[in-house]
Chain A
Amino acid sequence: MKTLTCFDDFKALHDRLRAQADPNTTTIVIPAGTCGIASGAAELIREAQRAILANDLAGRVALRVTGCHGFCQMEPSILVEPRRTFYPKVNPDDVERIVRAAALDEVIESLLPPGPMGGPCVATQDQIDFFARQARGVLSGNEKVDPTRIEDYIAQGGYSALVQALSRSDAGWVIEQIKISGLRGRGGAGFPTGKKWELARNARAVGGKKFVVCNADEGDPGAYMDRSLLEGNPHAILEGLTIAAVAIGATHGVIYVRSEYPLAIKHAQIALRQARDMGLLGEDILGSGTRFDIDIVQGAGAFVCGEETALIRSIEGRMGEPRQRPPYPIAKGIFGAPTCINNVETLANIPFIIRHGADAFAGIGVEGNTGTKIFSLVGKIRNTGLVEVPLGMPLKEVVHEIGGGPAGKTRIKAVQTGGPSGGCIPASLFDLPISYDSLTKAGSIMGSGGMIVMDENTCMVDVARYFMNFLKDESCGKCFTCRKGTQRMYEILEDITLGKGTPEHIDLLEELALVVKDTTMCGLGQSASNPVLSTLKYFREEYRRHVEEKRCDAYVCKNLVGAPCQAACPVDTEPWRYVALIEKGQYDEAYRIIRQANPFPAVSARVCDRKCESRCSLGVGGGESVAIRALKRFITDRVDPAVYRPEVRSTNGQARKIAVVGAGPAGLAAAHGLSLLGHKVTVLEAEQESGGMLACSLPAYRLPREIVRAEVATLMNENITVRHGVVFGQEVTLEGLSAEGFDAVFLAIGAHESWRLDLKGEDLAGVYPSMQFLKAFNLRGEELASGHVGIIGGGNSAVDAARVALRQKDVTSVTLLYRRTRGEMPAYEEEVEAALEEGVTIETLVSPVKIRVRQEEIETALREGVELETLVSPIRICSREGRLVGIECIRNRLGDLDASGRRRPVPVPGTEFTLQFDTLIVAIGERPQSAPLAAMGLATDKSGRVKVDPKTLATSVEGVFAGGDLVTGPNTVIDAIAAGKKVADVIDRYLRGEPLVEPAEAKLPTVFLEPADVDEEDLENTTRAVPPVLPVEKRKKNFREIEKPLSAEQARAEARRCLRCDLAFTQERQPVCGQSAAVGEEYA
């Protein structure tokens, strides 16, 4: 490598390299930063080398190995120039095909990324949403250069900004440019860089020394843009640092880099060597007379060293303890000499500003916050990686458009910015434009640009605890309030997550946080309270749930969760326990365990929405969750309910009279519970049959009627009287019940009134609200549907109505119309495939429905022949001679995000079309028929739901309680059962004059059951048991139950898959060999 001794030498080299670099050369570009290597880029590189040589393409197809391009999630990836074809997640076996196609200027479509929402593939990198909305300035260099080749950087115009700076005679020019650009420090605090440099320039060198430091101690967990820049484009940092030195008159440069970044250190070392060899660093840079060189100092793992005074101590080789400022490092830094410290990203921006002009930079972003900023968008988000956007972009654009929204079916809750010194910004504030000032105002900070997305499976108390644990370890200990304050805050948070929290904990935490903020010296201490204060500000309810109700709704705090399946169950079933008993063949005992928690085991075994399975550790940990409901079905199908004999409490003549209105799951669970407590219960039911929604809404192919009747019968005893055909509000009123001598009333009349479309013609013959349609058939056998049937809606009852209609004899076709799309649901692929298999035609680009119902339910409906129309809304009902003939619809497109992060359906003018229907079923939701209740003095909301105290279910009327769908609106069966179970206890306490609820306690497993001897290899080979089902042809036009129980072998194998989360809570209490302990006590 020839040393360059004057500007002309440099220009000649630049011109030569530039001329050689033909932008039309076919080049295979492979990003191989730390993240690329972690994803397998090394294999792609070797495979590409082999393919080029083996196919005799050397000299025609070039290979460039670069740093990270930012879309880390898609790595290992390949970019083919000049077409800019982007191949994500490349399998090494496909590399040869890619290389050969590239040589022919062809594209392999099957390896391209799918377009948005299943649309056509995207041909170039720049068309991908993730890249398209970014404004890549600094980061764009990463894909253009091999970081180990200075020639690549120079060919791209590198070091020309340095030449410009060196050749200016007016020394203040560079600083003036930086000031005009408005660049602020990218490391966190956002101090104007030009101003800092001016101060540094004016500082007098000490002992002939003045330092300029690149701070690459990127300690904020979750931020990694500095690593990416130093790894991917190290010469840009060297150039920026050298320009800084020229501007301020520094004699020595230092790159302080954390030891956790080995590749960044290596690339920086290579770059330094090359720059020195070339004469771009050293005694006489390019013959300009400027003398400057750079050393690399490696950190050794201390977060506080990111603080500038601590960093200086560390460069001096000492403990990295911060000191009081002033004097600022600008005046007194490394060994007492003036020291100007800039962050990596700040320095990377310098060559850009000098080369493209300060005004161009100032034109990006917003007033006071100019230029672009790189963020590391990570955590619970679909597209993770580095994004570079203009400052001022709204947070929601970064999260939802570039980031693509949540990774799965969850909802995004917050974004944490600024690392341990920052805070959490809730989803409700996502309209916030991203700038130094707006983030500070929201209680967080810009920091180095970490953006960690959190969803409903992230516990905010745990996040605060996490940061406090980090900070207490990283506090240098110099200030008492930081050392002890972070420790005490951590202990308080730990207590809360362990279930030992009280409301006083929260008050103390807040007080302490404010004291630490005010009484510490350095940035670490002053901002240490931010994670606590911001979570308290925006997520106080989560703290309250932890301390008052002992619940961690994110299922993160282990000691509040116990066994997740148990914690998830609204009726406190212990699934782990009956699953273990099934494994041991103790079926009767398994039944008793199920039944003692749940009065409706056989019903739940068929229609429960399985909250337990969605929380199963096996599923969360990367496998398939245990088929808990199928195991319950296995037990309830084979065990006689008589094995469970509940005791009826003796009341010693103190029995009271209670009225329960509504014989649905909530009402019957309450009546049963109260009867066992010895009370006399009268149940009033409007229909002629008990069961509520179980009987009138749920189709028999899912829940056979005889199962409902048999289960209801087991709940009856001499304390319960049921009166059928009594309509509350007509025959009976609250006043009347009081006059009859009832001491308390439980209202559970469900939600039976269908919402209306509010279109003219809704009362025509042939148009039915879904509840009317379902009741007519389920209770009276009347078939209201015929011919072509349209169903409007996307909820549970819409799908039920569709499938019931399909089974009625005069029905020709069934079409489901829904106004939104399925959007980003991950089940997408399988479902579309299954639907197509069944011959369903899907018209829209964005295919099936965003239906708030379980995926398999939709899938089954499709398989049975239900047709789907999505993104449509009805606008007119068409009639002839008073009879329905069809509906006019309009197509929708997806618009802006609403508060929930879902996109609103927006009608597209001019897309109206008509569909012919003989029957139209309106299934857009149900509401309680609560008008009569309001008249009796009960407070209700605008959806007709009765307002209750959520802890006690007490209504606004003394002695009257309410639960089930009447309170929640349409909801699951198991939640209704839970309400009934709970209210039985509450009413009993009420009647005895006791406080209505006891202090909450976490529900942890207490009973030890010997784990099965399971061979791990066996376990890996077993997949989740799938219950047999009736084939499609055998279930059309009839109501036979579709799902069948597991076999005994299947059930045992399935039970053996359970990870037994309960053991963590019960095993340690077991006696060790030779010790005696009262095991029986555990069962007491």
Chain B
Amino acid sequence: MDDRTVETIVAEHHGSLGGMLSILTAIQSEYGYLPEDALRRMAAATGESLTDIYAVVTFYKAFSLKPRGKHLVSVCLGTACHVRGAPKIAEEFIGQLGIASGETTPDKEFTLETVNCLGACALGPIVVVDGRYYSNVRKNQVAEILKRTREGLDQPRENRRFPLSVRCPHCRQSLMDAAHPIDNVPSIRLTMSWDGDSQPLYLSSLHGSLRSVCERETPAHSITVLACPMCGQDLVGDSRCSECGADMARMTIDKGATLMVCTRRGCAGRRLNLETTPAEAD
């Protein structure tokens, strides 16, 4: 751990509301758990004693001092789930994975945890695997859920994707590039500029796919300028990315239909707007 991650996190959150909680949450989301070394560095950077940090870490359920597996299985044991048989579902996971709640399988594939309530009470029993919610889970579905997770199936964003065809909102020329297909469909060609360097950027036109190709990769999270390769106009629109807050580039699909793409490199922010009243005249 020779990067400055912990120090950067501390600098960002120190003195703000939430204090240690925010710092610990950020560290955990960086490493997946709270490594001892990170906590020591946090102590040094914040001036808090390691004892106080340890007290906070162990007080709250969300923090883990142990590394967690590749997949996180959370079985909800809220009251509504409980009366609908959640304990039997939890037992089934415990039996099939061969670990107790809070533990990780020896192959580091799965971590199993039980949680008090995930707030989807009408659909209980609820199980969340890697952020994917399973509702009304029955005991005989547990094996299938684990199998699909292991095989990497069931990612909703893989389902029902379809290709889009976009134009520049300014010069109205097509941005589609059949010569550089991505995901087996013509890509969307833009000009990406960052730090004085301009180059073509090819985005997958498959709605639901985040793939993109460029020659010289920019640093992660850098905010770029995306322009039309034909008329050279900046495509930036007036809305911001719901994932990261950066500006979004806007392309026209059809009357009232626009595709917004985040200008931050690597951000998953994309949005297909379907309105009957176009925000701006095309």
Contact = CB atoms under 8 A, between A and B. Distances in A.
A46 B161 contact: yes
Nearest to A34: B120
Nearest to A74: B122
A416 interface: yes
Interface in A254-275: 254, 259-262, 266, 270, 273-274
B65 interface: no
Contacts of B277: 20-22, 25
B49 interface: no
Nearest to B28: A300
B275 A297 contact: no
Contacts of A58: 253-257, 274
A622 B257 contact: no
Contacts of B37: none
Contacts of A54: 162
A200 interface: no
A1082 interface: no
A837 interface: no
**Range for the number of chain B residues in contact with chain A:** 35 or more
B166 to A, nearest CB: 11
Interface residues of A, number: 97
A912 B81 CA distance: 48
Interface string A538-560: 00000000000000000000000
B79 A452 contact: yes
Interface in B47-76: 55-56, 59-63
B160 interface: yes
B254 A315 contact: no
A328 to B, nearest CB: 20
Interface string A43-70: 1001101101110101111110000000
Contact of A72 (B120, B131, B162, B245): B120
A58 B167 CA distance: 15
Contacts of A266: 242
B17 A622 contact: no
B159 A219 contact: no
Contacts of B140: 621-623, 1020
B120 A297 contact: no
Given A300-B60, A622-B138, A221 B78 contact: yes
B135 interface: yes
Nearest to B18: A297
Interface stretch (B110-118, B188-196, B213-221, B225-233): B110-118
B185 interface: no
A384 B122 contact: yes
A221 B19 contact: no
Contact of B122 (A52, A378, A419): A378
Contact of B83 (A26, A218, A379): A379
A274 B207 CA distance: 25
A228 B131 CA distance: 18
A934 interface: no
**Majority SS of interface residues in chain A?**
mixed
A674 interface: no
Contacts of A2: 238
Contact of A60 (B16, B207, B208, B276): B276
Contact of A61 (B21, B25, B276): B276
Nearest to B240: A273
B121 A260 contact: no
Interface centre among B17, B77, B119, B126 (most CB of A within 10 A): B119
B160 A47 contact: yes
A1005 interface: no
Given A59-B254, A59-B257, A219 B135 contact: no
A536 interface: no
B156 interface: yes
Interface in B12-43: 16-25
A422 to B, nearest CB: 10
Nearest to B162: A50
Nearest to B76: A221
Interface centre among A56, A75, A221, A315 (most CB of B within 10 A): A221
Contacts of B254: 53, 56, 58-59
B157 interface: yes
B56 to A, nearest CB: 6
A845 interface: no
A277 B239 CA distance: 10
A622 B141 contact: yes
A1016 interface: yes
Interface in B129-168: 131, 133-135, 138-141, 143, 156-157, 159-162, 164
A59 B207 CA distance: 19
A470 B272 CA distance: 43
A109 interface: no
Interface in A406-463: 416, 419, 450, 452, 454, 458, 463
B210 interface: no
Contacts of B276: 22, 25-27, 59-62
B120 A46 contact: no
Contact of A314 (B21, B131, B141): B21
B159 to A, nearest CB: 5
Contacts of B88: 621
Contacts of A578: none
Interface in A468-524: 470, 474, 476
B119 A38 contact: no
Contact of B124 (A25, A52, A378): A378
A300 B119 CA distance: 15
Interface stretch (A168-176, A316-324, A565-573): A316-324
B139 to A, nearest CB: 4
B101 to A, nearest CB: 12
Given A53-B253, A379-B80, A622-B141, A222 B121 contact: yes
A301 B79 contact: no
A277 B253 CA distance: 27
B15 to A, nearest CB: 10
B84 A380 contact: yes
Contact of A260 (B82, B117, B123, B253): B117
Contacts of B60: 299-302, 320
Contacts of B122: 35, 72-73, 376-378, 384-386
A376 B17 contact: no
B80 A317 contact: no
A125 B145 CA distance: 33
A39 interface: yes
A454 B83 CA distance: 7
Interface centre among A72, A260, A315 (most CB of B within 10 A): A260
Given A73-B122, A219-B117, A300-B25, A37 B80 contact: no
Contacts of B18: 295, 297-298, 315, 317
A917 interface: no
B80 A221 contact: yes
Interface centre among A27, A56, A62, A380 (most CB of B within 10 A): A62
A227 interface: yes
A297 B22 contact: yes
A623 B122 CA distance: 22
Contacts of B81: 221
A42 interface: yes
Nearest to B21: A317
Contacts of B56: 317-319
B164 A384 contact: no
Contacts of A38: 120, 123, 126, 133-135
Contacts of B245: 273
B138 A221 contact: no
The 5 closest A-B pairs by CB, nearest first: A317-B19, A622-B138, A59-B255, A38-B133, A301-B61
Given A35-B123, A75-B123, 16 more contacts: A35-B122, A39-B135, A42-B156, A59-B278, A62-B276, A299-B21, A300-B24, A314-B21, A315-B17, A316-B19, A318-B56, A377-B122, A384-B123, A467-B79, A476-B59, A621-B140
11 contacts: A37-B156, A47-B160, A56-B254, A61-B276, A222-B78, A224-B117, A270-B242, A301-B115, A303-B116, A416-B79, A452-B121
